[in-house]
């Protein structure tokens, strides 16, 4: 995610401040294969992730338990952060490497470890900071928290209020961190023949960029000029109708 943000900052620095120029180029660096639908995809825990661990009936073994009677979500700081070594300190168990493990894998590992003290431990683990960022020409650009692994582009666009009037649907960008590299795909949502452009699967950590059409700045300038004109003919000339 940090690498993606660096790319965004560099792109903003080397292009103009107009929205339509944000990561839009004639020859974008794309990697379509990295964005193909994968029905078996499961999120893998990363460094700096915030985890809650819930053990049914065992508050002393839980951190931010979903089984407790009190609200214990991220707002209250009841979570464990994965350190730079990829581990967390789990009550009773101690330091545990969790990075690159799926939630089911870690849950089963903890259940096995807890059987030293509990007959049939019921364990739940949540990643509290799974999110997708939507930028550009949508009604409500935002970072959206998600709970599930399988979400779609249109699902996230709808959560951000839908496309704005000037959204350039022919040049949607999606950035995805894969290991130490960032993969980019360029989507043309007006092209029905491209399988990658149908309701694409997004992963936690993805950044979606919706650039604007090139006529946005022109329309904004005209909107400030036309009220100053005195006749419809003059306005029409400015717009280019004559």
Residues of the chain with pLDDT > 70, as a percent, come to 69
Q: Residues near 10 by Cβ (< 8 Å), separated by ≥ 6? A: none
More confident residue, 39 or 43: 43
Is the pLDDT confidence value at 162 over 50? yes
The answer to whether residues 60 and 24 belong to one domain is: no
How many domains is the chain partitioned into structurally? 2
Q: What's 36's domain CATH number?
A: 3.10.560.10
Is the pLDDT higher at 103 or at 59?
Answer: 103
Q: Is residue 193 part of a domain?
A: yes
> Of 103, 109, 87, 92, which is closest to residue 58 (Cα–Cα)?
92
Torsion angle in degrees (nearest 10) through CA of 55, 61, 65, 69: 90
Q: How far, in Å, CA of 96 to CA of 87, rounded?
A: 5
Domain span at residue 150 reads 2-41+130-211
Q: Is the dihedral of CA 229, 232, 237, 240 positive or negative?
A: positive
Is residue 109 domain-shared with residue 56, that is, in the same domain?
yes
Angle of CA points 195, 196, 198, to nearest 5°: 70
Based on the fold, state whether residues 34 and 146 are members of the same structural domain: yes
Residue 122 lies in a domain: yes
- Lowest average pLDDT, out of 96-100, 156-160, 230-234, goes to 230-234
In this predicted model, which residue has the larger pLDDT, 26 or 179? 179
Q: Is the pTM for the entire model greater than 0.85?
A: no
Residue 184 pLDDT greater than 80, yes or no: yes
Task: Name the band, by pLDDT with cuts 50, 70 and 90, for residue 215.
Answer: low
Q: Name the domain boundary from 110, 127, 144.
A: 127
- Residue 84 sits in a domain of what CATH number? 3.30.1950.10
Look at residue 229 and tell me if it is in a domain: no
CB 122, CB 56: distance < 8 Å? yes
**pLDDT tens by residue, 60-95:** 899 887 876 555 555 455 889 999 999 999 999 999
User: 20 pLDDT band (50/70/90 cuts)?
Assistant: very low
Q: Do 10 and 120 fall within a single domain? A: no
Whether 99 shows a pLDDT value over 50: the answer reads yes
């Amino acid at each position: 995610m940090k690498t993606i943000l660096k790319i965004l900052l560099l792109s903003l620095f080397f292009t103009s401040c107009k929205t339509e120029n944000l990561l839009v180029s004639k020859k974008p660096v794309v990697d379509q294969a990295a964005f193909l639908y994968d029905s078996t995809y499961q999120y893998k825990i990363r460094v700096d992730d915030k985890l809650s661990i819930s053990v049914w009936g065992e508050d002393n073994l839980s951190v931010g338990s979903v089984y407790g009677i009190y609200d214990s979500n991220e707002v209250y700081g009841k979570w464990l952060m994965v350190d730079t070594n990829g581990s967390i300190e789990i009550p009773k168990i101690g330091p545990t490497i969790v990075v690159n493990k799926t939630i089911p894998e870690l849950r089963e590992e903890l259940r096995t470890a807890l059987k030293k003290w509990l007959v049939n431990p019921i364990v739940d683990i949540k990643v509290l900071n799974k999110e997708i960022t939507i930028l550009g020409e949508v009604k409500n650009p935002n970072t959206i928290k998600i709970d599930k692994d399988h979400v779609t582009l249109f699902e996230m666009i709808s959560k951000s209020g839908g496309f704005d009037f000037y959204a350039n649907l022919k040049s949607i960008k999606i950035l995805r961190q894969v290991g130490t590299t960032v993969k980019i795909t360029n989507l043309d949502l007006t092209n029905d023949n491209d399988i990658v452009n149908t309701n694409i699967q997004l992963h936690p950590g993805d950044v979606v960029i919706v650039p604007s059409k090139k006529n946005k700045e022109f329309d904004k300038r005209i909107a400030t000029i036309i009220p100053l004109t005195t006749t419809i003919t003059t306005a029409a000339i400015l717009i280019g109708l004559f």
